Amino acid sequence: MAQPESFIIKTPCSSANIGPGFDVIGLALSMYLELHVAIDRSQARSEHPLNCRITYEGEGEGTDEISLDPQVNLITRVALYVLRCHDQRSFPAETHVHIKNPIPLGRGLGSSGAAVVAGVMLGKECGGLHHLTPERLFDFCLMIERHPDNVGAALFGGFVGTYLKPLTPEDVARVEIPLSEVLPAPAGGVDTGAKPPAPPHGIGHHIKFPWAPAIKAVAIIPEFEVPTAKAREVLPAQYPRPDVTFNLQRIALLPVALGQSPPDPELIYLAMQDKLHQPYRQTLIPGLTEIVESMTPGTQPGLLGVCLSGAGPTILALATSNFEAIAERIIAKFRENKIVCNWKLLEPAEGTTVTRV
């Protein structure tokens, strides 16, 4: 008889963009989504839908944002997508997934990216799909979260540059099918039982950049959410050429500036400026421009640079010392707009791991 098996999937949160690297740069950080998974394959059938029981603790617990229905919950839906692409209709009977999630939802710390990466890994492990390499798992992630920066950082870890390969017209058609067809229909929708479209091969790629060990990340996290979809809607379809040139000049500096020891504060501050997303997101995040412009390494000892984390509203300050003073100053700026925040000191993290227990 098969022995029960258990394992833990651990996926870091992430900060995307880091100023000029819109949809390109990602940084995995030391706050982790964990899935504690127990599978008892000796059970012929399960009383739970799709053979899966979900329990949850952490951010969003008990709210509508986090469903315990395996066909609705983002993590298990993504796992089902991977399983169904490999002709497995459900989880092994009997699967228990306990989710521990300290990553705040909709704040720009890559909660959905971590959920997608953990879900893809869950599908691989539950399905015994050992042939799936990290690069192939990245393809599956990119069918669900279409910008590669958060999922690239959460999967591979560290400070990464991510890029998508040009697709053939046939593959473009395959990746542009509605998400409802990529993922099994949530409860209430129609699950036709059809096999979903598998991702094209090699959609996304990444490169790891060095990170100077002295640099830490201070995340200042406002108490309100900005859904990423909404934060993308406020961006223009076209940009003035000087703004694009401005970002290109800085993105060429950023990976070099953040890899050098000792860090050069003036260079990093300059390299973290952006004109492609932060100015537009000011409308959703009161005080954003002022916060980003209010502090420099000259006025704030230890500070290297300030940017919006991902789609916001979290602010990321990179620094080598005086972390609390830096956080308090940004919290005070938010307070002027009646916004309450907390803050965390984070460090670059390794990518997703699976540990047998």
Ligand X SMILES: Nc1ncnc2c1ncn2[C@@H]1O[C@H](COP(=O)(O)OP(=O)(O)OP(=O)(O)O)[C@@H](O)[C@H]1O
Ligand Y SMILES: N[C@@H](CCO)C(=O)O
Q: Which residues bind to ligand Y, rule: CB under 6 A?
A: 16-17, 22-23, 110, 147, 149-150, 228, 231-232, 277, 310-311
Does residue 285 interact with ligand X by CB under 6 A?
A: no
What span, in angstroms and rounded, lies between the C-alpha atoms of 240 and 250?
A: 16
When computed from its CA atoms, the radius of gyration of the chain, rounded to whole angstroms, is 21
What would the two tokens of residue 101 be?
A: 């999630």
99 binds, among ligand Y, ligand X, none (CB under 5 to 8 A by kind): ligand X
Q: Binding residues for ligand X, how many (CB under 6 A)?
A: 24
115 binds, among ligand X, ligand Y, none (CB under 5 to 8 A by kind): ligand X
DSSP 3-state of 26: strand
107 binds, among ligand X, ligand Y, none (CB under 5 to 8 A by kind): ligand X
Of 24, 33, 215, 217, the residue at the interface with ligand X (CB under 6 A) is 33
DSSP 3-state of 95: strand
For residue 99, which of 11, 219, 5, 39 has the smallest C-alpha distance? 11
Q: Give backbone dihedrals phi and psi of 192, rounded to 5 degrees, phi first.
A: -80, -10
CB 322 within 8 A of CB 233: no
Could you list the beta-strand ranges (E) of the chain.
Answer: 5-16, 25-39, 52-58, 95-101, 159-164, 204-209, 216-222, 303-308, 315-319, 341-346, 353-356
**How many CA atoms lie less than 13 Å away from 273 in the CB half-sphere?**
18
Which lies closer to ligand Y via its Cβ, residue 115 or residue 132?
115
User: Nearest approach, Cβ of 63 to ligand X (angstroms)?
Assistant: 9
Does residue 106 interact with ligand X by CB under 6 A?
A: yes
CB 223 within 8 A of CB 339: yes
User: Nearest approach, Cβ of 357 to ligand Y (angstroms)?
Assistant: 31
User: Nearest approach, Cβ of 110 to ligand X (angstroms)?
Assistant: 4
User: Nearest approach, Cβ of 342 to ligand Y (angstroms)?
Assistant: 20
DSSP 3-state of 232: helix
Which lies closer to ligand X via its Cβ, residue 155 or residue 212?
155
17 binds, among ligand Y, ligand X, none (CB under 5 to 8 A by kind): ligand Y
User: Nearest approach, Cβ of 157 to ligand Y (angstroms)?
Assistant: 17
Does residue 234 interact with ligand X by CB under 6 A?
A: no
For residue 203, which of 175, 176, 181, 183 has the smallest C-alpha distance? 175
Q: Which stretch binds ligand X (CB under 6 A): 105-113, 176-184, 243-251, 274-282?
A: 105-113
74 binds, among ligand X, ligand Y, none (CB under 5 to 8 A by kind): ligand X
Query: Which residues here bind ligand X, judged by CB under 6 A?
Result: 16, 33, 65-66, 73-75, 99, 101, 105-113, 115, 150, 227-228, 310-311
